[in-house]
């Protein structure tokens, strides 16, 4: 922010509520993708959860693990 304030002095009058520098893996419809990979047998995809994925991943992993059992 200091560099932005130096480059654009008018920004110094803005108040910052929060900062985020990174990407989110959420999908636009907020529906995760869970299932087997088409190209690699034994590889399962589990993504697109958005910001709630850290809470849902353990359950999804458990479900995928039990799906792979006979």
Residue 68 CA to residue 44 CA, distance in Å, equals 10
pLDDT of residue 26: 66
pLDDT of residue 66: 64
pLDDT of residue 64: 76
SS3 label, residue 67: helix
Q: Does residue 50 register a pLDDT over 80?
A: no
Q: Which two tokens stand for residue 17?
A: 């509520």
Q: Are 64 and 46 in contact (CB under 8 A)?
A: yes
Q: Does residue 17 register a pLDDT over 70?
A: no
pTM over 0.75: no
H or E segment and range at residue 47: strand 44-47
What does the domain layout of the chain look like in residue ranges? 26-70
Q: Does residue 67 register a pLDDT over 80?
A: no
Q: Does residue 56 register a pLDDT over 70?
A: yes
**Torsion over CA: 29, 35, 41, 43 (sign):** positive
């Amino acid at each position: 922010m200091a560099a932005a304030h130096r480059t654009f002095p008018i920004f110094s009058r803005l108040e910052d509520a929060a900062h985020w520098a990174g990407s989110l893996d959420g999908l636009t419809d907020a529906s995760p993708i869970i299932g087997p990979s088409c190209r690699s047998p034994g590889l399962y995809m589990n993504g697109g959860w958005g910001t709630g994925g850290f809470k849902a991943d353990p359950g999804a992993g458990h479900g995928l693990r039990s799906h792979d059992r006979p």
